[in-house]
Structures are given as structure tokens and as C-alpha cells.
Structure 1
Amino acid sequence: MPDYKAPLRDTRFLISDVFDFPGSYAAIGAHDATPDMVEAILEEGAKFCEQVLAPLNRSGDEEGCQFDNGVVTTPKGFKEAFAQYVEGGWNGLAADPTYGGQGLPHSLGLLISEMVGASNTSWGMYPGLTHGAMSAIHAHGSEAQKQTYLTALTEGRWTGTMCLTEPQCGTDLGIIKTRAVPQADGSYAISGTKIFISAGEHDLSENIVHLVLAKLPDAPAGTKGISLFIVPKFLPTATGEVGARNSLSCGSIEHKMGIKASATCVMNFDEATGFLIGEPNKGLNCMFTMMNHARLGTGMQGLCLGEVSYQGALRYANDRLQMRALTGAKAPDKVADPIIVHPDVRRMLLTMKALNEGNRALAYFTAQLIDQAHGAAEAEQRAEAEGLLALLTPICKAFMTESGLEVTNLGMQVYGGHGYIREWGMEQLVRDCRIALIYEGTNGIQALDLLGRKVLGSQGKLLRGFTKIVHKFCEAQGAHPQLAAQVAELATLNRQWGELTQRIGMAAMNNPDEVGAASVDYLMFSGYVILAYFWLRMAVVAQAQLDAGSGDAAFYQAKLATCAFYFKRVLPRTAAHLAAADAGSDCMMALPAAHFGV
């Protein structure tokens, strides 16, 4: 398994030079998040992830979770690492101080989540699901529920899950069968089976708080009849301690391609005691708070696994000796040159670097929007941030995982035959990354959400919120001495983005299948254009630092070179996605299902 080093140099560049996190923190009143405090958190977080979590990554994959008569045991070292994580205060870093959290900005929590996910994706699932449950309870729970559950979740004594999927339904939650029957004491008896429940059962915490979607007896049909319930493994006592065991159990755990140290459970609820959260039949709205949190976290997994894959591939490319460079020996004192001299290896490494660093910029921009949506002083600012988040969430989830899988595949390819061998650890990164394109809503569903609900559903308003930002940037940088040509290319793509949207919208008025046919290519086109915008933002800053003669010149030169590579070698993919999105649905829908063959 490649050694993981937190990319703190790139993190500092983004939060200080590109996005001005210190200024943003001051604007939302996060005065405790001083530059010194942030630096200390980043340093300590990196140390924990590099020294505690990363060494457990491969062993966790080899051992996996163990299931014995309803009891799930996590791999050796996981429980101790979780205790250390909780003791260090990491679980409550960005949580509400009212319930024991530190109240630091959400973006700072995301920076730590990136390191956690890169060092050990499976382990990171346990606190990751907990943070999602905390966000849903905080947004929709009663004050009594918050006091009971948020305090224990923030302290890390309890963990959380989200229970949506059932054997007969995944995306189509309107057909769930889990039922909730009202009881005389105001609680509900929850009965049903949920599958694919991450962290549904484990040995890391003393209690597990399940957020369960279920239907009341008189519920309307479809998604309008879904309610959300808190169903704890152990019922809390009046003082908030662990009480009687609830009537729920883990029926089994899945045997998976990757993230093997994350317990993926079948959960059976047999008239388990549950408590309604939010309003009856409004559960999907409540759950979306948690799902959006999870979707951003899943998008981050593409970046996380791509980063550690790149680090391994780069070290290997500098060490592995094979053949001579086409332009003559570069290491004449050795039997062959390191493979990093070969153009195709550089193609792979630069593609990995360009996608990773572009995705990191997108992730940090999105994290900053979360801060603003929660803490901006003006309602208009909060609404603007929420609109941008609505647009970018499906792109973060889908584009970052699609490109993350590409990066981990390239990392394995750089190793050649050794990449296919388990002992090097590169194949695990591919296996771990593959699920990210599927869970928390498949990438096809994210594409439909983006184009159908967010863009066309808002009549283009949400899209214009972002394209206007890009337009203003291009106007401001149009005469940039070194980057004018790339700025002009971005301006053209930004215009094409709006024009493509209009064409699909017009076609969909006559045939709704046009949206489904175009959606994936539309999302990928959007992702590449967005990364082009962020690459130019980084390039403008890097060029300014070089012109001023300040900072690490090699770092800034590498930024400019990678930006140039992205525009010349990666961004042309937009042309193919544009043409495919414009191709219409006829070629997809003309063939009868019976003619697909057997």
C-alpha cells in the first residue's frame, strides 16, 4: 500500500491564496478559526491520518469485518483508532457547541475528512455516516431529540446510519415496505428490512442511531407518504444513557469488491421502537439533508483515493527503471532510465495530477459554500450559497467519482504488472473507489438530478448562478498576459454550456426522454468546464506569485504547467460530451427491448 502524506502544501495554497478562507471565516463570524488554529488542526489531522489510519488500510482490507450471529467485529486496530479519534475531539470539530461540538466551520471539517478518506476510506465511513445523521437531526429534530442524540453523537459515544434501501427498491423509495405503526406512548413500532446499510452494526461505539425511512398506516402512495424515524440500537434512558436493547438486528453483512472494512449490513426491524423526526410524510425532505451531506462525502472519496493513488504512482515512476528515453539516456549511470521520462507515463501522471488538483479546488469551493449557507449574515447570501450547492452537489458526487476511478485506474497502470498484484496496494484503491460511482445515488441518478431537477427544473436559474461567476471571471482576466487564450476558451465553453441547456430543454418539451439521454454527457461536460474555471483561478494566483517573486517558485510553475496540460489534453473531452448530449434519444430508444439479444 502506498504511503500516504497529506497534501498540505496544496491545501494551504487553496485555502489561503485561492479561496481566502481566513476572510470567509471572518465574514461568517468564525473568529476562533484563526490561521494559527487552522494550521494546527491541519498538522495534527495529518499526523493522525498518516500515522494511525493509513497503517490500518491494507490490513483492514485483508481482514474485513467479521459477522457472528448478529455481532459485527471491525478489523484489528479500528476500534482503538476510533477511540483515539474521539478523544482528540475530531468527531465534534464542526458540530454545534450547544451539543458539545467545537463550532468550527464546516469547511474545516471537510479538510479533515479528505485526509481521513485518503488514509483509510473504509474506516472513514463510520464517522462519515455519523456526521450525516447529526446534520439531519440538527436540521429537523425536536429540541428534546437534539439533546438526547446530538450530544452523544458529537461526543462519539454513539454513531449513526441512514437506512433507505430495501431489497425491492433503491432509487425508487416510493415503494418501500417498511412500516411505522403509532403507539399509545407517542412512539412508533418500526417493522421491515433495510439493505446496504453502511455502519449498520459494529463494535466501535456503545450505541448506533439509525435514521429509518418508513410509511405510516394512512400514508399517501409514493414518496409523498414517507416519514423519517430515529430508531436506536439501544433505547436511551431519561438521563441520555444506554438503556434497553431495541428489537432490531443485523441479519448479515455483504461480501464486497472493496471497502471491505466498512460493515455493509442487512438490518431487520421487528416492531422496533422509533421516534418520528420532522413532520409525518415529510421524511424524504428530512433525509435529503443527510443524503446531500453523504453525496458530498462520496464525491470526496473519488478525490481521496485518487490522491493516494497518484502519490504511489509518482514514487514508483521515479524509482522504476525501464528502457531509455527516446531523446537519449537521462540516467546514464544506471541500467535504464526511470519510467517518468517516457511521454505516456507522463500523460498518465499529469492526467492524475490535473484531475486531483482540479477536484480538490471544486471540493474546497463547495465547502466554502456550506459555511456561507449556514453562517452568512444576509439572507440573500445564504440563499445564493444554497443555490450553488444545489447545482454543484450532483456534479461533485458524480464527476469526482468518475474521474477518481479514472485516476486510480491510471495509478495501477503506471505500475504495470505490479499494479495488478495485491501487495503493492494499487488495486485496492481501484476496488475501494468503484462503489463511489454507485452508492448515495448512482451517477446516472445524479446526472438526472442535475439536468432534470436542478437546471431545467429551476428554468436555468441555478445554472446561471454559476455561469455568471465564470463569465465575470473571464471578463476580468480576458487580457491576462499569459493566460488570455485559455480564458477565451473557457468563455466559449461557458457560453456553449448555456446553449446546450437550452437545446436540451426545448427538445424535452416534445420528448421527455431527451433529458435522460443527454444527462450523463451533460454532467461530464459540466464537470470539465467547472474544473477549467478552477484551474484558471489557480493559474492566475500562481502567475501572480511568480511575478512577485514570492513563495515556492517550483510549486507555482508546476501549477501553470498542469493547467496548460489540462487545457490541451483533458478539456478537449468536452467536445465529445457536447456532441453526444446533442445527439438526442432516438439512437438509444429505437431498438425494442426484445431485440437487445441474450
Structure 2
Amino acid sequence: MPYRAPVSDYQFLMDHVTGFADVTATPRFAEATPDMTAAILSEAAKMCEEVLAPMQRAGDLHPAHLDNGVVRTSPGFADGYKAIATGGWIGMSASPENGGLGLPMTLTTLVNEMMSGACLALQLNPLMSQGQIEALEHHASDAIKALYLPKLISGEWCGTMNLTEPQAGSDVGALRTKAEPNGDGTYAITGQKIYISWADNDFTENVCHLVLARLPDGVPGTKGISLFMVPKLIPDADGTPGKRNDLRVVSLEHKMGLHGSPTAVMEYSGATGWLIGPEHGGMAAMFTMMNNARLGVGVQGIGVAEGAYQHALAYAQDRKQGKAPGTGAIIEHADVRRMLTTMKADIYAARAIALMNAVAIDMTSATGDAGWKARAAFLTPITKAFGTDVGIDVANTGVQVHGGMGFIEETGAAQYARDVRVTAIYEGTNGIQAMDLVARKMMDSGEAAFRLLEEIEQGAEAARAAHPALAEAVWQAAETLRETTEWLVGQSDLNQRFAGAVPYLRAFARVLGGHVHLSSAMAGDAARARLATFYIKRLLPEHAGLLVHVREGADDLLAISNDDLAA
């Protein structure tokens, strides 16, 4: 499927909207000059367009499969992975001490989006490794870092994370996997894990599993969980993979989409593992990896949305149907134009939010400032949930643009919808992201939220002279969101917050989208001003109905009985 990386959008957002200049002004990231940034994006775009995009369809038609205990990957995936690894794209933001490039997370985020738009099934592999690299950098012993990080960063080895069990999905604390001390500093890991993305492959030397398990003295729940490195092949002191560990792929899941990405049931039978972080401190270490992945998964949704949009746009420009004016193609029909413009406007908003998040992470790394850290934490669930919701909505609309042909597999439109659907589920469902936003992320009495709202209102005030109607709409939306945020913070019963958590997150994303579109219009680009007008006049008003939903609380919802639902 043809794919073109939207590098001009990336550059515009970095230059005019998301504050990337603040990142490069720090000593930590001063080497990320405009010339270097442009070269990186150009080179990554070339790889995605020429190497990865042609694999998109192959991964769907020729899924990964299990052959006598060995995972065989889709045709071309080994070459695609090699291009990713040798290009240095896995360790872009990893520490130079271990072979990484030390580049801003903002650039890694953009490259991850490109790879997702080109071939999501393959991109999921390096995303898992990136999360594992960050977890090891923050929590592993020096010996583990020295042994594993260079291999993961180079792509010679790849990483996974093992959380879920048949009885322990979102409730990770219910896991039963055991870790028994071996008496030599290692542990015997026994248990079963499910839904393990890229648990094995036929193109890397080793697969490194981060596994959550409970020590014999671990208390019930999440506070008794520890994290362990459990490699497929046990390396010797110089990093050469040795004997096979006591673990195996039991089976691969038969999935709705992402057929090129093997998702496994894993069995650990006294496998040798090494503790990462302190005993019973597994969740803190795993959340480092999961928060990295939540930004990455939000970007996966945006990347797939871009691919689906380009696919639909090309079809709409070519397909002749009805009495359309102009070229006679269906793109001239008002309703098709509405669908395409909605797709483009939402992708732009979601991408900008993700980049705001990445910039906040970079500024936290560069300055250690608590305000930047709080901003990054607040934006993470919004990025994940809104980015993946946009991915699903845009891919679904892409099928609609194709009409009947969208329901025919040969056009490829349906693959985007099937592949992206899981992104709203893994790394914490979008409902869990919303609950996190209105609870944990508001333990500061809403301070991080109010700072963002103040920034949005200041931006609207600055835009009043050039775009009075658009500025007023964004300002009023932010004020309504502020009032609802004040109401939320005042609810001590978390159920009152949780009942409206999903619409609240969506409303916050809508208002942030209005802010970034208005900022783009202020940069003087006529096309972006027209897109901003569409978003602010037609999509931003959605926030009002969502916030009404939020303020209803939980009473009427909880009054509905189980019998009512079954009737």
C-alpha cells in the first residue's frame, strides 16, 4: 500500500505549535539542530515508504505462525526489521552510554508514527524494545544494563513485556506466576502469560522477556509483585546467547488484525530470571515501560489513521460516481469531502497532542522540572486514548469512503480498521486511561489540568485580533472545561468521577485540538487556517455534550440494575 510520511506536518508542528524549540534550547538536546532533525525525518521517511510500507499487506495475507515450536514471521519482515535496527531507529532516545543516540523523545515519537503508518504489525516489535530499554535504564543493576542494553539498542536482541495472565488482565495484582530464589542470585520463574506481543521471532539472536511474578513472601495484590528479566537464551558474560531457557511459546492467538505480529501464550517452567529493581517493586519498574508504551500506542493509532486517510483520499480522487462537479470523482461530493476533512483535522489534532506530550517528556529529562513532569503525566492518558480513538474512527471512516469496496478485503481499507482496533485495548484500555486521568492525575487538585487550560485561554486571547470567531469558540470551550474540571475535583466519591471519565478525556482532547488548530491558523498558513476553521466550528462543539455527560455523575448510572440491563 503506498504511504507517504507527512514530514511537512511534523516540521510545522515542531516549529509553530508544540514548542520543540524549548527542547533544543536545553544543553541536553542542543545537538538536535534543525538540519539534523530534517535529515533524521527525511531518512526515516525514506525507510518507511520504500521498505516498510510494501510489507503492510504481506503481513495481513501471510500471518506469523508457529512451526514446531518456532515462530515463523511474515515474508519480508526480517529484512524490514534489519532496516529498522541497522538504521539506529530502535535506540534513538536511549542513552549514548549504551549505544543509543540520546535524541529527544519527540523525534522518536515521529519516527514511530511513520513506522506505524507504514506497517503497524512490524513496528510493534521495536516499540516493545524501546519500552524495555527505558525500564532497564531506570531500574536495572549495572551488570544487567551492561549485558542487555547494547544488544537491545542495536536490535540484535528484542524485548517484550509479560503482564497478563488468563485470570489477571487489567487486574495485574491477581497474577499467579511465581518466582523462587535459586540461591545464586537468580530466580526460577514459573507460570503462564498471555497476549505477549512479539514473544518470539526468527530474525533476532535473542528475545528478552520482562516478566511480572510474585516472590514467596510477596503480599497479595500489586504491592507484592516483582519484575524479572527472563531471556529466551541465557547469555554468557560477554553477551553470547547460550543454552535455551525453560520457557516456550505454547500457541499464537488468532486475531482480528495485526496478523503479521505474533501474539503468544507463554509458558515459564522454572525459567531462570534476574531481578529488575527491588523485591516487590515490580509495578514501579513495569510502569516505566508501560508509560513509554502508552505514548507509543497513541502514536500507533495516529500512524494508522494517517495510512488509512491516505488510502481513502487516493480512492476518492480516482473513483468516479454520481453527478459530482469538477473532476467527477467522489471527492467532489459534499459528504465525502466532510469525511475526508474530519479525518485530516482529527489526525492533526491527535498528532499535535502526542507531540506536546513528547516535548513535555523531553523537557522533564532535560530540566528535571516538576511542572513539566506533571504535564507529561497528564497528557499521557489523553494521548493514548484520543490517539487510538482517532485511529479507529479514521480507519472506520476510510472504509466508508470506499463504499462497498471498503468491505472487500482486496482494497486494503479494512485492514487498517482491523489492525488498529486493539490499540484502544492494550497498554491499559481507554476506559482505564480515562479513570487514571480523573483520579491519579488529579491528585494535585487539578493543578496540571488548570495550567493547560490557562495556556489554552491565553492562546485564544492572543488570536482574537486575527481570528476573533475562532478564538472566542476556543476560549469559551476552555472555560466550560475549566468549570467541569472544578466540579470533578470536588467529587470525593471516585465513582462520581469514573462515570464520566471517558467523555471528560474526550472533551479535554477536543479542546486541546481546538487550541492546536488555532495556533496553526495563527502561523499564517492559509490551508491550515481553513482546516482550523472546520475543526473549531464543526468538531470542537462536541465538547459541550460530553461535559454535560460528565456532570451527571454516577447516581443515575448506578441506579440501573443488572436486571434492567438483561431485560
Give the Cα–Cα distance (whole angstroms) in 2 for the partners of residues 503 and 212 of structure 1.
40
1:355 correspondence with 2:354: no
2:519 aligns to what?
537
1:107 correspondence with 2:106: yes
1:590 correspondence with 2:559: yes
Give the Cα–Cα distance (whole angstroms) in 2 for the partners of residues 29 and 285 of structure 1.
25
CA distances 1:51-99 after superposition (whole Å, capped 9, x unpaired): 1100011011110101123211110110122122222222222221111
Instruction: From 435, 460, 469, give the equivalent of 2:422.
Output: 435
Give the Cα–Cα distance (whole angstroms) in 2 for the partners of residues 289 and 94 of structure 1.
14
2:264 aligns to what?
265
1:551 aligns to what?
none
The 5-angstrom pairing of residues 571-590 of structure 1 reads 571-590=540-559
Instruction: From 347, 356, 372, give the equivalent of 1:365.
Output: 356
Contact 2:305–2:392 (CA under 8 A) maintained in structure 1: yes
2:475 aligns to what?
491
CA distances 1:449-482 after superposition (whole Å, capped 9, x unpaired): 0011112x221122123222223323333x322x
Contact 1:387–1:465 (CA under 8 A) maintained in structure 2: no
2:326 aligns to what?
330
Contact 2:460–2:518 (CA under 8 A) maintained in structure 1: no
Instruction: From 482, 487, 503, give the equivalent of 1:503.
Output: 487
Give the Cα–Cα distance (whole angstroms) in 1 for the partners of residues 489 and 366 of structure 2.
35
Give the Cα–Cα distance (whole angstroms) in 2 for the partners of residues 399 and 42 of structure 1.
24
Give the Cα–Cα distance (whole angstroms) in 2 for the partners of residues 342 and 58 of structure 1.
29
The residue matched to 2:215 in structure 1 has which SS? coil
Give the Cα–Cα distance (whole angstroms) in 2 for the partners of residues 176 and 19 of structure 1.
40
Deviation, 1:16, is: 2.4
1:563 correspondence with 2:554: no
Deviation, 1:300, is: 0.7
Give the Cα–Cα distance (whole angstroms) in 2 for the partners of residues 159 and 565 of structure 1.
43
1:73 correspondence with 2:72: yes
CA distances 1:324-358 after superposition (whole Å, capped 9, x unpaired): 24xxx424xxxxx1111111011101100100111
Give the Cα–Cα distance (whole angstroms) in 2 for the partners of residues 373 and 280 of structure 1.
27
Instruction: List, as ranges, runs of 4+ consecutive aligned residues in structure 1 with deviation greater than 6 Å.
Output: none
1:444 correspondence with 2:444: no
Segments of 5+ residues of structure 2 without an aligned counterpart are: none
Question: Cα gap change, 1:504/1:110 in structure 2, threshold over 3 Å: closer, same or farther?
Answer: closer
Q: 2:551 is matched by which residue type in structure 1?
A: D
Q: 1:474 is matched by which residue type in structure 2?
A: A
Give the Cα–Cα distance (whole angstroms) in 1 for the partners of residues 557 and 396 of structure 2.
28
Contact 1:259–1:432 (CA under 8 A) maintained in structure 2: yes
Give the Cα–Cα distance (whole angstroms) in 2 for the partners of residues 354 and 595 of structure 1.
39
Backbone CA RMSD of aligned residues: 1.4
The residue matched to 1:268 in structure 2 has which SS? strand
Contact 1:22–1:35 (CA under 8 A) maintained in structure 2: no
Contact 2:474–2:536 (CA under 8 A) maintained in structure 1: no
Question: Cα gap change, 1:431/1:206 in structure 2, threshold over 3 Å: closer, same or farther?
Answer: same
Give the Cα–Cα distance (whole angstroms) in 1 for the partners of residues 450 and 277 of structure 2.
32
Q: 2:512 is matched by which residue type in structure 1?
A: I
The residue matched to 1:439 in structure 2 has which SS? coil
Q: 1:210 is matched by which residue type in structure 2?
A: H
Contact 2:210–2:230 (CA under 8 A) maintained in structure 1: yes
Give the Cα–Cα distance (whole angstroms) in 2 for the partners of residues 58 and 524 of structure 1.
32
The residue matched to 2:201 in structure 1 has which SS? coil
Deviation, 1:365, is: 1.5
Deviation, 1:23, is: 5.1
The 5-angstrom pairing of residues 353-502 of structure 1 reads 353-376=344-367, 379=368, 382-455=369-442, 457-477=443-463, 479-481=464-466, 483-502=467-486
Q: 1:531 is matched by which residue type in structure 2?
A: G
CA distances 1:546-590 after superposition (whole Å, capped 9, x unpaired): xxxxxxxxxx22211110010111111112101111222233211
Q: 1:361 is matched by which residue type in structure 2?
A: A
The residue matched to 1:200 in structure 2 has which SS? coil
Give the Cα–Cα distance (whole angstroms) in 1 for the partners of residues 146 and 36 of structure 2.
28
Q: Percent identity?
A: 43
Give the Cα–Cα distance (whole angstroms) in 2 for the partners of residues 117 and 441 of structure 1.
19
The residue matched to 1:210 in structure 2 has which SS? strand
Contact 1:22–1:34 (CA under 8 A) maintained in structure 2: no
Deviation, 1:426, is: 0.6
Contact 1:6–1:115 (CA under 8 A) maintained in structure 2: yes
Deviation, 1:486, is: 1.7
Give the Cα–Cα distance (whole angstroms) in 1 for the partners of residues 516 and 437 of structure 2.
20
Contact 2:437–2:505 (CA under 8 A) maintained in structure 1: yes
Q: 1:578 is matched by which residue type in structure 2?
A: L
Give the Cα–Cα distance (whole angstroms) in 2 for the partners of residues 465 and 194 of structure 1.
41
Q: 1:229 is matched by which residue type in structure 2?
A: F
Give the Cα–Cα distance (whole angstroms) in 2 for the partners of residues 519 and 88 of structure 1.
41
Instruction: From 504, 507, 510, give the equivalent of 1:528.
Output: 510
Give the Cα–Cα distance (whole angstroms) in 1 for the partners of residues 164 and 175 of structure 2.
8
CA distances 1:156-200 after superposition (whole Å, capped 9, x unpaired): 111000100000011111111011111210111111111000011
Contact 2:223–2:281 (CA under 8 A) maintained in structure 1: yes
Deviation, 1:108, is: 1.4
Q: 1:501 is matched by which residue type in structure 2?
A: T
Give the Cα–Cα distance (whole angstroms) in 2 for the partners of residues 317 and 434 of structure 1.
23
Give the Cα–Cα distance (whole angstroms) in 1 for the partners of residues 240 and 142 of structure 2.
17
Deviation, 1:29, is: 3.3
Instruction: From 495, 498, 509, give the equivalent of 1:516.
Output: 498
